[in-house]
A and B are shown apart, each in its own frame.
Chain A
Amino acid sequence: MIAGISIYEILTLTSILFFIGIYGFFTRENLITVLMSVELILNASAVNFVLINTYLYPDLLQGAVFSIFIVALAAAETALAIAIIINLYKLIYSVEVKDTETMKY
């Protein structure tokens, strides 16, 4: 718990971070930058798990464990997505969202 800071202030911060990620997800047209926006969204939710654990259930650990799982999933997802992007670049020499039609087949 942070002295002098209420849960509302931190939840406001993580909500802003989450919706900045959503904005990036909507506007970016390059696969790598879309993936970066997804990282922002995942991070905001991981912070939320820790916060609610700390502020509302101080004697439990579940939130921290869920955040660790989110970090592991994010690492797995990024590694796989970057492998796919690099393979896609080898196939069609572009990583723009509008050019990725061959993934259908």
Chain B
Amino acid sequence: MERIIFYILAAVIILFAVASVTSRKILRAVIYLLFVLIGIAGLYFLIDYNFLAAIQLTVYGGGIIVLFIFAVLLIHHVELELEKTALKKKLIAGLLSAAGLAVTLWAISTYPFPETGSAYTSVEVADIGKILLSYEDGGFILPFEVISVLLVAVMIGAIVIAKGKKLTENN
């Protein structure tokens, strides 16, 4: 049963990812990206990381996609079609990505991953909270604080940059 669901999710993720990088209508590309992100949230649910799945749905599905849609609607006409990419460029990019994928898959398939004996139990949100705020060995209090500072800096920076002044005086 879980096997079937995994293969369905994998097919959805790959199909919509390809559609997202090849679609010439930009708003549709954003929506395809949303489907990919929801598929990955499904993958997290399947691995039993409920907290990460919730983060994925709220931050990506709720935040980033809305930002993208805002940007697209502010900048483009909804029906606008992107320029066609030159066939040569597509071929070179496709070949390069295929070569990279082949090397990566070869490395993965030949690496002997060790078998773990211990049974996996699902992660409690309380455990993640404890490790994020722990001062002891293996605790993540410092990165956590740095991320908070970074988020504040980014918020202020985004407001300042998006407000911006016009550089050219003649329009």
Contact = CB atoms under 8 A, between A and B. Distances in A.
A22 B97 contact: yes
A54 B157 contact: no
Contact of B105 (A4, A12, A27, A89): A12
B20 A36 contact: yes
A64 B21 contact: no
Interface in A42-80: 43, 47, 50-51, 54-59, 61-62, 64-65, 67-69, 71-76, 78-80
A15 B101 contact: yes
Contacts of A27: 21, 85, 89-90, 93
Contacts, number: 219
Do most interface residues of chain B lie in helix, strand or loop, or is the interface mixed? helix
A76 B151 contact: yes
Q: Which residue, of B89, B138, B161, B167, has the highest number of chain A Cβ atoms within 10 A? A: B161
A58 B118 contact: yes
B154 A29 contact: no
A32 B26 contact: yes
Interface residues of A, number: 72
Interface of A: 1-5, 7-13, 15-24, 26-30, 32-33, 35-37, 39-40, 43, 47, 50-51, 54-59, 61-62, 64-65, 67-69, 71-76, 78-80, 82-87, 89-91, 95-96, 102
Interface string B34-48: 001100100110111
B137 to A, nearest CB: 12
A40 to B, nearest CB: 6
Nearest to A30: B82
A47 B45 CA distance: 12
A62 B138 contact: yes
Contact of A50 (B17, B52, B119): B52
A33 B36 contact: no
Nearest to A35: B68
B170 interface: no
B138 to A, nearest CB: 7
14 contacts: A9-B6, A21-B21, A26-B96, A27-B93, A39-B33, A40-B20, A40-B21, A43-B36, A50-B44, A58-B120, A61-B127, A74-B60, A82-B68, A89-B75
A95 B68 CA distance: 14
A65 B168 CA distance: 45
A24 B20 contact: yes
Nearest to B148: A72
A13 B10 contact: yes
A43 B40 contact: yes
